[in-house]
Amino acid sequence: MKPSSETKSQAESLREQIRHHNYQYHALDDPEIPDAAYDRLMRELLALEEKYPDLVTPDSPTQRVGDAPVSSFETVQHELPMLSLGNAFSPEELNEFHSRVLDRLEMDAGSTLQYAAEPKLDGAAVSLLYEDGVLVRGATRGDGTNGEDITHNVRTIESIPLRLMGSGYPRRLEVRGEVFMPKAGFDAYNENAREAGTKAFVNPRNAAAGSLRQLDPKLTAERPLDMYAYSVGISDGANLPDHHSEILNRFQEWGIKVCPERRVVDGVNGCLEFYEDIGSRRDALPYEIDGVVYKVDSLRLQEELGFVSRAPRWAVAHKFPAQEEMTEVAAVEFQVGRTGAVTPVARLKPVFVGGVTVSNATLHNIDELHRKDVRVGDTVIVRRAGDVIPEVASVITGRRPKGTRRVQLPTACPVCGSRVAREEGETVARCTGGLFCAAQRAEALKHFVSRRALDIEGFGAKLIEQLVLSDRLQTPANIFQLTMEELSALDRMGEKSASNLIDSIEASKTTTLTRFLFALGIREVGESTAASLASHFGKLKSVVAASDEELQAVPDVGPVVAARIRSFFDEQHNIDVISTLRELGVSWPESEPLAPSDDGPLSGKTFVITGTLPSMTRDEAKERIQLAGGKVTGSVSGKTDYLLAGEKAGSKLTKAEKLGVEVLDEAALLSLI
Ligand code: IVH
């Protein structure tokens, strides 16, 4: 059936609206309508196009993922070569760059020159060709002269417009920029891959480059990719502004996304200020960058400066210290933590990466170690991004020496010789030695004295290790039996520091129940659970005596945590240590338990909680309900008396309405109580 002219204009109007909202969302980061409303427009257009296939145009917003897979990539010859950039690694090198620029332009050393400063995005370069405003071709950079045709893939990236907005764009316009995978998408993708046992990405750059080189555009469409434009290639048939920064502004008006973190700055000082500013915010940016780029802003001056071999004389990349370096694995050792977790660690030939010298890198767990197959003698890529612990990102297997062997999980603990066990379905292997294991003991003691636990100032890790090795410290109780004489006799311990330490040990005896419970180092009992237990039970005696069920009545205590707490206190050894601690003077104020009342205003009533409440967390609400005698369960059923619903309540609210369960907001609950 041929569409009527009315239908045609209806389709065109839908496309216009969708393009407009795409522009607001992607180019301006300022959406005007909720996602659901956008989806409705899209569905409406899809329905029309399905009914009248004649209506479909290649630049319709519905046509992003429709392309058939290609069997290989066609070569694209770049009409203007895609250049790379020279690097500067220090302010001195930047100064040299700036002097060369001024020299060439025959400007005085002190002259001001404006640079357009932008982040250097860590992704893959692309060229997008628009003819009469319609995207006709996407290509990789390749070797700068010849790239690959990836039109079918770039069309799937939602922030790349299939048709330009507004007017005044050149008849032929080549936009160049970086396709990248935002950090959040990268992390989510890798987490899924790990769970599914499929291959994870080494870094966001490989993720972007790999995603663009898919033969099947459906695969690319599944990858969370984004793009920022950073320069112009071909432009025929209209004049562009005469400054780089203004061209990028113009791009944005045409719906092409540009990085919001760009600025025009004066001279080297302006550049350095920009570098510092971006560097300090680097970890918080939603995408990975490896430096900043400065470009002489005036196109007239750019032209005067010209190129050397493959790089422009008018631009330079000021790099951050590398976050990935190559080094060799000297050994793989297994460390034992507080809970007995046996963690593989690579001992490395020291290498400078991410601004520090790294000689150890975590291998996370035995599965990760096997997945990467890291072996002693291997050449590896070490990665240290931001504040995260250095890790082995990958092995360069081509450089593997002969005769290496796969690393195996030890069957016995490297510290105490106890059996190493791995529970069904767990990634972590653990030493079964418990507090018999010196490593676990040392870690448990470090935790016990740490700032948020008993807070014994001056009781450092080295001292603990020394005292554990000499068997002077077997349980936390031994800390309170240490004497001035034996402490001052230790290596590197003067009389003064020994006496200070004795004072802080003494001071730590007066503590709180929360700190004490946390200090015990019960698995799964962090600071906030310790605080909930303390306020719920009030007295240590009641925590020790609590049944599984009673424990689960505490906010954030579920069956797993309750079981850990129970098994800790079922261990006579632990009870003995606690009583010795108390005999030695460790004490805290105890209070009355917040016992649920049988005759409270809510007794006999069953509640379900959903959504975000205005003034309390769901755990706090649970506790309030229980104190008033009510019960809280997880799902809505015929037995539910009330649903306490906050903002963004979802399926539970729908179900409650269907079953006719009374729905309360926070204020209504408080007035009931
Ligand atoms: S300008 C002639 N600007 O870095 C100018 N490049 O080493 C050529 N890159 O292949 C590039 N962010 O993929 C420019 N803001 C930015 C950039 C950027 C990342 C990449 C680009 C290029 C490589 C140059």
How far lies 350's CA from each of 343, 360, 374, in Å?
20, 8, 17
Tell me how far the alpha carbon of residue 141 lies from the centroid of ligand 1, in angstroms.
11
Count CB-CB contacts under 10 A for residue 59: 17
Pick the residue whose CA is nearest to atom 22 on ligand 1: 84
- CA distance linking residue 3 with residue 12, whole number of Å: 12
Residue 633 confidence class, pLDDT cut points 50, 70, 90: confident
CA 414 to centroid of ligand 1, rounded, Å = 49
Helices marked H in 282-399 — which ranges? 299-305, 366-372
Q: How many CB atoms lie within 10 A of CB 168?
A: 11
How far does the centroid of ligand 1 lie from the alpha carbon of residue 139, in Å? 15
Residue 599, pLDDT above cutoff 80: no
Residue 597: per-residue pLDDT? 63
Choosing from 2, 8, 120, 631, which is the catalytic residue?
Answer: 120
pLDDT confidence tier of residue 387, bands split at 50, 70 and 90:
low
What does the angle CA 315 – CA 317 – CA 321 come to, to the nearest 5 degrees?
165
Q: How many Å lie between the centroid of ligand 1 and the Cα of residue 85? A: 7
Q: Find the 382 Cα to ligand 1 centroid distance in Å.
A: 24
Residue 571 CA, distance from chain mean position: 39
Q: Is the pLDDT of residue 477 over 70?
A: yes
Q: List the residue whose alpha carbon is closest to atom 12 of ligand 1.
A: 120
Q: Give residue-wise pLDDT tens across range 656-671.
A: 999 999 999 999 998 8
In terms of phi and psi (left: phi > 0; alpha: psi -120 to 50; beta: otherwise), the region of 471 is left
Distance between CA 449 and CA 459 in Å, rounded?
7
Q: Whose CA is nearest to atom 18 of ligand 1?
A: 120
Q: Could you give the CA distance from residue 11 to residue 53 in angstroms, rounded to a whole number?
A: 12
DSSP class of residue 337 equals: -
Which long-range contacts does 138-144 make (Cβ < 8 Å, 24+ apart)?
Answer: 139/76, 139/78, 140/212, 140/213, 141/82, 142/75, 142/76, 142/78, 142/82, 144/78, 144/81, 144/82, 144/83, 144/84, 144/310
- For 586-638, the three-class secondary structure string (H helix, E strand, C coil) is CECCCCCCCCCCCCCCCCCCEEEEECECCCCCHHHHHHHHHHCCCEEECCCCC
How many degrees, rounded to 5, is the angle at CA 15 between CA 14 and CA 20? 100
Q: Is the CB of 203 under 6 A from ligand 1?
A: no
Ligand 1, atom 3, lies closest to the CA of 230
Atom 16 of ligand 1, nearest CA residue: 120
Buried (b) or exposed (e) across 3-27, using 16+ Cβ within 10 A? beeebeebbeebbebbbebbbbbbb
Of the residues 97, 180, 226, 230, which should be mutated to test ligand 1's pocket, given the most ligand atoms within 8 Å of the CB?
A: 230
**Ligand 1 pocket member 230 (CB < 6 A):** yes
Ligand 1: atom nearest CA of 262 is 15
Ligand 1 pocket residue status of 85, Cβ below 6 Å: yes
Among the ranges 80-84, 176-180, 360-364, 537-541, which has the highest mean pLDDT value?
176-180
| The pLDDT of residue 435 is above 90 | no
User: Which position has the token pair 């609950």?
Assistant: 669
The finding on whether 87 has its CB within 6 A of some atom of ligand 1 is: no
Ligand 1 site-directed mutation target among 84, 244, 263, most atoms within 8 Å of CB: 84
Q: What is the pLDDT of residue 596?
A: 62
Three-class DSSP category at 346 = strand
| pLDDT above 80 for 225 | yes
Query: 520 CB under 6 A from ligand 1?
Result: no
Asked whether 376 and 328 are in contact (CB, 8 A), the reply is: no
Give the gyration radius of the chain's Cα atoms. Answer: 32
Give the per-residue pLDDT at 386.
61
Contact (Cβ atoms closer than 8 angstroms) between residue 673 and residue 597: no
Average pLDDT of span 131-150: 94
Nearest one of 649, 642, 636, 652 to 673, comparing CA atoms: 642
Structure confidence at residue 627 as a pLDDT band (50, 70, 90): confident
Residue 665 CB coordination number (10 Å): 15
Per-residue burial over 491-524, b = 16 or more CB atoms within 10 Å of its CB, e = otherwise: eeeeeeebeebbeebeebbebebbbbbbbbbbee
Region 219-248: what's the mean pLDDT? Answer: 94
Q: How far apart are CA 328 and CA 339, in angstroms?
A: 30
- Is the pLDDT at 593 greater than 80? The verdict is no
Per-residue model confidence (pLDDT) at position 430: 94
Q: Which atom of ligand 1 sits closest to the CA of residue 178?
A: 13
Question: What global pTM score does this model have?
Answer: 0.60
CB 578 within 8 A of CB 643: no
**Per-residue three-class SS string for 208-249:** HHHHHCCCCHHHHHHCCCEEEEEEEEEEECCCCCCEHHHHHH
Using an 8 Å Cβ cutoff, are 298 and 191 in contact? no
Portion of the chain with pLDDT greater than 90, in percent = 68
Distance CA 654, CA 610 (A): 11
pLDDT of residue 493 exceeding 80: yes
Residue 219 corresponds to which tokens in the numbers above?
A: 């695969």
The whole-number pLDDT of residue 377 equals 96
Please report the pLDDT score of residue 204 as a whole number.
87
Question: Which residue out of 118, 121, 262 has the highest number of ligand 1 atoms within 8 Å of its CB and is therefore the one to mutate?
Answer: 121
Q: Which residues contact 237 (CB under 8 A, 6 or more apart)?
A: 170, 171, 172
Cα(143) to centroid of ligand 1, in Å?
A: 14
- What is residue 328's predicted lDDT score, i.e. its pLDDT? 96
Angle at 256 between CA 250 and CA 262, to 5 degrees: 65
Q: Is the CB of 84 under 6 A from ligand 1?
A: yes
360 bridge partner residues? 347
| Section 518-527 average pLDDT | 92
Q: How many CA atoms lie within 13 A of 343 on its CB side?
A: 17
Give the Å distance between the CA of 536 and the centre of ligand 1: 58
For ligand 1, whether the C-beta of 38 sits within 6 Å is: no
What pairing do the DSSP bridges indicate for beta strands 124-131 and 172-180?
antiparallel
Residue 252: CA atoms inside 13 Å, Cβ hemisphere, count? 17
Q: Average the pLDDT over 301-326 and give the result.
A: 90
Q: How far apart are CA 54 and CA 574, in angstroms?
A: 78
Mean pLDDT of the 249-256 span: 96
Nearest atom of ligand 1 to the alpha carbon of 119? 15
Strand partners, 243: 298
Residue 453 Cβ < 6 Å to ligand 1: no
pLDDT at 595: 62
Closest alpha carbon to 415 in 402, 391, 431, 399? 431
pLDDT, residue 616, reads 80
Q: Is the pLDDT of residue 573 over 90?
A: no
Over residues 106-116, mean pLDDT: 93
Best residue for ligand 1 mutational test, from 82, 84, 85, 244 (most atoms within 8 Å of Cβ): 85
Show contacts of 214-218: CB within 8 Å, 24+ apart. 214/153, 215/69, 215/70, 215/71, 215/72, 215/73, 216/69, 217/65, 217/67, 217/69, 217/152, 217/153, 217/155, 217/156, 218/65, 218/69
Give exposure, 299-309, as e/b (b: 16+ Cβ within 10 Å).
Answer: bebbeebeeee
Q: What pLDDT does 540 receive? A: 96
Alpha-carbon distance 8 to 669, whole Å?
54
- 65-80 tens-digit pLDDT: 777 888 889 999 999 9
Q: Which of 178, 179, 248 has the most ligand 1 atoms within 8 A of CB, as the residue to mutate? A: 178
How high is the pLDDT of residue 78?
95
Task: Give the model's confidence band at 355: pLDDT under 50 very low, under 70 low, under 90 confident, else very high.
Answer: confident
Distance (angstroms) between ligand 1 centre and the Cα of 84 equals 6
At residue 266, does pLDDT exceed 80? yes
Among protein residues, the one whose CA lies closest to atom 21 of ligand 1: 125
Lowest average pLDDT, out of 194-203, 525-534, 600-609, goes to 194-203
User: Given pLDDT bands bounded at 50, 70 and 90, which one contains residue 447?
Assistant: very high
Q: How far does the centroid of ligand 1 lie from the alpha carbon of residue 341, in Å?
A: 44
Residue corresponding to tokens 């041929």:
2
116 lines ligand 1 (CB under 6 A): no
Average of pLDDT values for 628-651?
Answer: 87
Q: Give residue 102 CA to ligand 1 midpoint distance, Å.
A: 22
120 is catalytic: yes
